Amino acid sequence: MCGIVGYVGPELCAELVVDGLRRLEYRGYDSAGLAVVDGDGQLLTRRAEGKLSNLVKRLAESPIDGRTGMGHTRWATHGAPTEDNAHPHRSGSVAVVHNGIIENHVELKAELRALGHVFQSETDTEVIAHLIDHNRTADGLALPEAVRQAVLRLHGAYSIVVIDAATPGVIVGARVASPLVLGLGQGANYLASDVAAILAHTRDMVFIEDGWMAVLTPDAVDVRVVATNEAPRWEKTTVSWSPAMAEKGGYKHFMLKEIHEQPRAIADTLRGRVSLERKTVDLPEIPITADDLARLRQFYIVGCGTAWHAGLVGRYLFEDLAGLAPHVEVASELRYRNAPMDDRTLILAISQSGETADTLAALREAKRRGARVISVCNVIGSSIPRECEGTLYTHAGPEIGVASTKAFTTQLAAVHLLALKFGQLLGRLDDATMVAELTALMHVPTVIEAELAKEANYLEIARAWHECTSMLYLGRGNLFPMALEGALKLKEISYIHAEGYAAGEMKHGPIALIDERLPTVVLNPRDAHFQKVRSNLAEVKARGGPVLVVATEGDTEAPGLADFTLTLPAVPEHVLPLIAAVPMQLIAYYMADFKGTDVDQPRNLAKSVTVE
């Protein structure tokens, strides 16, 4: 997720803004930039690809400063991570920084080009600068109204901050479904995407609500509702967080923060790709046609660790929705096998970082043998997308915790979209099924928000079981991969040995382990496998094993069969893994936190495995 810092006040602000950006480095980024209105009323910008230190070096070589300014760290979503695509973007006297996605930027860009505007970047952000500049120059609007009118035309989820050399001493921000906070100072005011950026200067914050904008001068703040231009009631919040806590948004660990970011991340991954009106999925970045799919002989999904689990869920989706039967392979194994591959083979590589060494090697070998290669990835411009014909980017934003959470669930959402697209291309989905699937997917963020409100249940489980040395996770159907994922999460961060099993395989070995010292997590919602898994649960209890059952809300029998019960709402089966991911993550998190392990940086693990 991008970082934004804005300032208006009596101080020269370049150093202050860069320091704020430095406090946002934990969020991850691929370029950085700064814009100021200097003492002569000129708009000056400096940008640099890569780390913030490159921008600092650029500023040392070619200094700029002023008393109105803003800075940005970019996590690429539209356009490669280059200096040309780095923020701020400008048009005339207007400069803009932006966090989020503008869904209708293509249409707006075409309209503005027809009016004579020339674009310098591949980004959606530059459209905002040109639109505001047009409102200023062609329509003669003052800066606040020019921004408001521009925001009314933008579709998507975003926050923006704007300065204008023609209006020195003013900075304008607006929020639509992407965080923006206003800092109240003494003779100075601030805007930022995160409290951490400005906490060194003020603890008095106004958390801008969705659909609001704010106009700041050194001595005043004017907050407005964008749609009506009316002044809403707003409250000042005095933040007591330490700077370290602020980086984590007040959460104890990055992992917990990222678990709570999943509704937003999933919504961002779906945004602009789902059309209920047209009953379709729009994935222009994936150049696979109906003819390509019809001539396939082999289809492989490739990943490592959590990404492999996303691929396992994908297998059920492609089978059910597209009539395709992919082989789901661990990349470190596939790369050394002589699996059949040729020009009628499709590879889907899944990777959060886009740099996973084994996945990269496997897809390179597949390409060498003539296979077509596409990917699901979270990092624009990383190695795996560069090797692929097309990439479906997730919009999880930077993930700091080593144990993947929001990157995993956005992978599930992206693979679901791809399965729907393939099913539609092959003529295997009718309109009613497509609408039902899309509706279920779009409802997932709301459902997860409700699940995250139940966190108090997990502390009791952790208190009871944190001293165990081993655990078993059982699931059937598309929840079998979630049993694997739950076990992996527990191993990664709590250092408790855990195994995930297909529930039907319990009698083929694992049942010998069951006793009063081995807790078992049973994924048993009311799905197609409900009765079968309920029988497996009873077999564990009959042997004295402690049980945590994940059941459907309203299942009155479940609490009497288990030591602990967690409930999920009744949802369509294809989105059950997305919902079930949350308790799998929270069980692991609270067990690890209760034990006192290093949740964000567990021993012996790295975020991205870039060596074999």
- Provide the token pair at 438: 């899309």
Q: Which amino acid is at 16?
A: L
Same domain for 191 and 143:
yes
Instruction: For residue 233, give the H/E element and its range.
Output: none
Check: CB of residue 144 under 8 Å from CB of residue 94: no
Same domain for 475 and 344:
no
Q: Is 13 a catalytic residue?
A: no
Check: CB of residue 544 under 8 Å from CB of residue 516: yes
Same domain for 290 and 211:
no
Classify residue 294 by burial, with Cβ atoms within 10 Å: 0-12, 13-18, 19+. exposed
Q: What is the pLDDT of residue 596?
A: 96
- Domain assignment of residue 386, given as a range: 257-448
Owner of token pair 């046609």: 289
For the chain, the average pLDDT equals 93
Q: What is the pLDDT of residues 220-264, one digit of tens each?
A: 999 999 999 999 999 898 887 777 666 787 899 999 999 999 999
Q: What is the pLDDT of residue 415?
A: 98
Instruction: For residue 259, give the H/E element and its range.
Output: helix 254-260
Q: What is the pTM of this model?
A: 0.76
Residues in the chain: 612
| Interatomic CA distance for residues 131 and 119, integer angstroms | 12
Edge-to-edge strands, sheet with 237-238? 43-49, 31-37, 68-74, 3-8, 189-192, 181-184, 204-207, 237-238
DSSP letter for 88, please: P
> In this structure, is residue 600 part of a structural domain?
no
Check: CB of residue 270 under 8 Å from CB of residue 281: no
Same domain for 208 and 101:
yes
Check: CB of residue 607 under 8 Å from CB of residue 402: yes
> In this structure, is residue 604 part of a structural domain?
no
Q: What is the pLDDT of residue 418?
A: 98
Check: CB of residue 314 under 8 Å from CB of residue 326: yes
Instruction: For residue 465, give the H/E element and its range.
Output: helix 456-465
Instruction: Choose one of 427, 448, 469: the last residue of a domain.
Output: 448
| Interatomic CA distance for residues 105 and 101, integer angstroms | 9
| Bridge partners of residue 521, in order along the sequence | 473, 548
- Provide the token pair at 609: 């495995």
Same domain for 407 and 273:
yes
> In this structure, is residue 609 part of a structural domain?
no
| Interatomic CA distance for residues 485 and 496, integer angstroms | 14
| Bridge partners of residue 350, in order along the sequence | 376
Other CB atoms closer than 10 Å to residue 60's CB: what's the count? 8
Angle at CA of residue 603, ends 598 and 608, nearest 5°: 105
Q: What are the residue ranges in the chain where pLDDT is below 50?
A: 610-611
Domain count, the chain: 3
Q: Which of 2, 13, 304, 377 is catalytic?
A: 2
> In this structure, is residue 602 part of a structural domain?
no
> In this structure, is residue 603 part of a structural domain?
no
Q: Which of 109, 257, 406, 607 is catalytic?
A: 607
Same domain for 214 and 340:
no
| Interatomic CA distance for residues 144 and 132, integer angstroms | 10
Q: Which amino acid is at 291?
A: D
Decide the pairing of beta strands 298-303 and 345-351: parallel
Virtual CA dihedral for 357, 359, 364, 368, nearest 10 degrees? 140
| Interatomic CA distance for residues 398 and 568, integer angstroms | 28
Instruction: Choose one of 448, 468, 486: the last residue of a domain.
Output: 448
Same domain for 92 and 32:
yes
Same domain for 389 and 532:
no
Same domain for 495 and 348:
no
Check: CB of residue 262 under 8 Å from CB of residue 254: no
Same domain for 199 and 307:
no
Owner of token pair 């956005």: 410
Instruction: Choose one of 414, 448, 482: the last residue of a domain.
Output: 448
- How many angstroms separate the first and last alpha carbons of the chain? 29
Q: What is the pLDDT of residue 1?
A: 60
> In this structure, is residue 601 part of a structural domain?
no
Question: CATH code at 529?
Answer: 3.40.50.10490
State CA 446 to chain mean position distance: 15
Same domain for 291 and 233:
no
Q: What is the pLDDT of residue 244?
A: 67
Pick the closest to residue 470 from 510, 502, 507, 525 (CA basis).
Answer: 510
Backbone angles phi, psi at 101, to 5 degrees: -135, 130
Decide the pairing of beta strands 345-351 and 390-393: unpaired
Q: Is 607 a catalytic residue?
A: yes
DSSP 307-342: HHHHHHHHHHHHHHHH---PEEEEHHHHTTS----S
How many CA atoms, within 13 angstroms, populate the side-chain half-sphere of residue 340? Answer: 7
Q: Identify whether 88 is preceded by a cis peptide bond (ω within 30 of 0).
A: yes
